[in-house]
């Protein structure tokens, strides 16, 4: 295994425990994304991997060799930060070449490597420009180029797209994925944006309050969430939840009882237990299905988004969002029935919030 983190903890001098027993193995060439809300410990973990934060306890290995005490340079990692941190008085060429220049690399080698890196990043026509003459996306590519040119084995990226507008983020996501395919470098990427995580990652590490909640492929996190937090964090709009106690194989959804015996034959074993019933907005059907739970609700609001519509519904005090084809958009202030297929129903333990 190329990178190994064993029982990694980060405790600051004031006693704040930022990262708890973090365990992860990363293969060479893998693209791993740390994702979670602000303050979950993802950037702290990345900084410990980079050598910018001390590891309080645990063991960090690169290629089987302990690296806890190694300096950032000795770890052979390159980091791209949220801020581009470009030198404003230097051209794009000099910004990209800066690390090699400091190392005293021969000018001919620098020239060849800068131009090669610029070709990969589509910056060839901008090498003589200053950063202020570039767009935000172009500046971010220069920052990536400065990391790329060092030809290290590990790239660390800390929210590199957060300063870009929505259109630039989409473009840069594609470019980062292409760069990763071309370089084959092991990449660890931090973001709070689950769309970035789902589109870029080979594997995703979901964090909350310094703990790993689940590690898996985008497919696994979306279709097989380990708990309520992961289920609600991955997906847009987020998963709908209803909390209640199982009575006679049913659970309340607002003002109605949903009989789950047909779709979850194991529901009898949960009699009297508090559970969380969940389904994704896009998993519903407005057409009747035999293998599904039927739910009735009132339409409060609709948001037409092009090819689909978000439908905000209520039943009693229970609220939820449905994502339907725009051609099937219901009228507001009407009653509708929708169907949640068997395979799209999730049940979680009401106490531990782990999937059942």
CATH number at residue 277: 2.40.50.140
Q: Are residues 142 and 266 in the same domain?
A: no
In this predicted model, what pLDDT tens digit does every residue of 189-212 receive, in sequence order? 999 999 999 999 999 999 999 999
Residue 171's pLDDT is 84
Q: Quick check: 82 pLDDT over 80?
A: no
Could you tell me the pTM of the whole model? Answer: 0.89
Domain CATH for 85 = 3.40.50.300
Average pLDDT of span 168-187: 86
- Which of 185, 214, 233 is the last residue in one of the domains? 233
Q: Are residues 277 and 151 in the same domain?
A: no
- Which of 233, 251, 270 is the last residue in one of the domains? 233
Q: What is the average pLDDT score of the chain?
A: 93
Establish if 28 belongs to a structural domain. Answer: yes
Establish if 355 belongs to a structural domain. Answer: no
Q: Are residues 178 and 272 in the same domain?
A: no
Establish if 334 belongs to a structural domain. Answer: yes
Average pLDDT of span 61-80: 91
Q: Are residues 62 and 171 in the same domain?
A: yes
Q: Are residues 217 and 315 in the same domain?
A: no
- Which of 209, 233, 257 is the last residue in one of the domains? 233
Establish if 43 belongs to a structural domain. Answer: yes
Establish if 211 belongs to a structural domain. Answer: yes
Establish if 318 belongs to a structural domain. Answer: yes
Q: Are residues 48 and 163 in the same domain?
A: yes
Q: Which of 120, 93, 95 is closest to 175 using CA atoms? A: 120
In this predicted model, what pLDDT tens digit does every residue of 20-58 receive, in sequence order? 999 999 999 999 999 999 999 999 999 999 999 999 999
Establish if 172 belongs to a structural domain. Answer: yes
The pLDDT confidence band at residue 1, using thresholds 50, 70 and 90, is low
- Domain count across the chain: 2
Q: Are residues 176 and 254 in the same domain?
A: no
Residue 247's pLDDT is 95
Q: Are residues 137 and 249 in the same domain?
A: no
Q: Are residues 149 and 191 in the same domain?
A: yes
Q: Are residues 188 and 246 in the same domain?
A: no
Residue 190's pLDDT is 96
> Domain span at residue 341?
240-349
Establish if 354 belongs to a structural domain. Answer: no
Q: Are residues 212 and 313 in the same domain?
A: no
Q: Are residues 48 and 138 in the same domain?
A: yes
Encoded tokens for 46: 């990345």
């Amino acid at each position: 295994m190329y990178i190994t983190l064993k029982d990694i903890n980060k405790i600051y001098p004031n006693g704040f425990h930022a990262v708890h027993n973090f365990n992860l193995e990363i293969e060479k060439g893998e693209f791993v994304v740390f994702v979670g809300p602000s303050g979950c410990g993802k950037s702290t973990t990345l900084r410990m991997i980079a050598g910018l934060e001390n590891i309080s306890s645990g063991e960090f290995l690169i290629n089987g060799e302990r690296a806890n005490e190694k300096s950032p340079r000795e770890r052979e990692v390159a980091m791209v930060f949220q801020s581009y941190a470009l030198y404003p008085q230097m051209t794009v060429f000099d910004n990209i070449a800066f690390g090699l220049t400091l190392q005293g690399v021969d000018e001919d080698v620098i020239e060849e490597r800068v131009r090669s890196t610029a070709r990969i990043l589509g910056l060839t026509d901008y090498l003589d420009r200053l950063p202020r003459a570039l767009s935000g996306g172009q500046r971010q590519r220069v920052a990536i180029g400065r990391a790329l040119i060092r030809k290290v084995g590990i790239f660390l990226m800390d929210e590199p797209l957060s300063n870009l507008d929505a259109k630039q983020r989409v473009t840069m996501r594609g470019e980062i994925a292409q760069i990763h395919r071309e370089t084959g470098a092991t990449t660890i990427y931090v973001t709070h944006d689950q769309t970035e995580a789902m589109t870029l990652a080979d594997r995703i590490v979901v964090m909350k309050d310094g703990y790993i909640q689940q590690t898996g492929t985008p497919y696994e996190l979306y279709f097989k969430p380990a708990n309520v937090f992961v289920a609600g964090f991955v997906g847009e709009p987020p998963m709908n939840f209803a909390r209640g106690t199982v009575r006679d194989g049913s659970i309340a959804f607002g003002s109605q009882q949903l009989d789950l015996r047909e779709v979850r034959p194991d529901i009898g074993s949960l009699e009297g237990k508090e559970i969380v019933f969940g389904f994704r907005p896009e998993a519903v059907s407005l057409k009747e299905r035999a293998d599904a739970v039927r739910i009735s609700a009132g339409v409060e609001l609709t948001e037409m988004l092009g090819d689909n519509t978000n439908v905000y519904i209520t039943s009693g005090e229970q609220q939820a969002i449905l994502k339907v084809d725009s051609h099937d958009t219901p009228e507001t202030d009407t009653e509708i029935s929708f169907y949640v297929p068997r395979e799209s129903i999730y049940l979680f333990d009401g106490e531990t919030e782990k999937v059942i």
